[in-house]
Copies of this chain bind each other. A is one copy, B any other.
Amino acid sequence: MKRSLGAATLSLPSPVWVIGSFDAQGRPNLMTVSWAGICCSDPPCVAISVRKNRLTHRNISTTGAFTVNVPGCRHLAQADLIGMVSGVVADKFATTGLTAVSSELVNAPYVQEFPLNLECRVLHSSDLGSHTQFIGLICDVKADEAVLGRQGVPLAGLVQPVLASAPERSYYTLGPQLVRTATAGKALQPDQPAV
């Protein structure tokens, strides 16, 4: 039986990503977002949505750049705090003890301690209402050696990303790996027509 829940953002899961940006004076700031996701393969792009009254909104609008930093579960307290206080009143790098590294590719800082860092240059921005969506070209991905598998790609089991369930306002861990894509469906796959 289906129940109607109204016009609301009641989907899940959402990522928990921390956005790095510089203000006009080069001071680094951080912000936690969940309204975000990869949005294009070629060129590689990521979309993040930011409320207009946020310092990060002003920073990205000024610099045209940001980083996406993926925290592991061990960084949950820091990622949560970054979402609780404004960079207008607190230096979030100082408060969390995290280290800002200036990207050599874009005008934004990334978080040294987080296992995955995407360095992004803004290609588009769209005013959607409460939020502006910034679409960033991923200029490079930096990863801790410790989270890379033998093929040189980051493994979710090592990154241990945090997830959000927005309807519950709660954090979750990632669970066990199931199967590779394009495997589980084979049992249901119809016979292919001869070509």
Binding site for B on A (CB under 8 A): 1-15, 17, 34-47, 49, 68, 70, 73, 76-85, 89-90, 95-96, 112, 116-118, 123-124, 126, 128-131, 133, 135, 137-145, 148-149, 152-156, 159, 161-190, 193
Q: Are A10 and B141 interface neighbours, CB within 8 A?
A: yes
Q: Considering residues A15, A140, A172, which has the most beta carbons from chain B within 10 angstroms of its beta carbon? A: A172
- Would you give 8 A-B contacts (Cβ < 8 Å), ordered by A? A2-B145, A11-B116, A12-B70, A14-B15, A123-B128, A154-B167, A170-B180, A172-B175
Closest to A33 in B: B37
Q: What chain B residues lie within 8 Å of A95 (beta carbons)?
A: 188-190
Copy number in the complex reads 2
Given contacts A49-B39, A184-B76, contact A175 B175 (CB under 8 A): yes
The reply to whether A184 and B2 contact each other, CB–CB distance below 8 Å, is no
Contacts of A133 in B (CB 8 A): 39-40, 47, 135
CB–CB A156/B13 < 8 A: yes
Q: Do A12 and B116 have beta carbons less than 8 Å apart?
A: yes
Asked whether, in the complex, the Cβ of A185 is within 8 Å of the Cβ of B68, the reply is no
Q: How far is the CB of A193 from chain B (nearest CB, A)?
A: 7
A127 to B146, CA, bound (A): 36
Would A11 and B143 be within 8 Å (CB), given that A40-B35, A163-B163 are in contact?
no
Q: How far is the CA of A148 from the CA of B1 in the complex (A)?
A: 11
How far does the alpha carbon of A128 sit from the alpha carbon of B135 in the complex, in Å?
9
In the complex, chain B residues whose CB is within 8 Å of the CB of A80: 179, 181-185
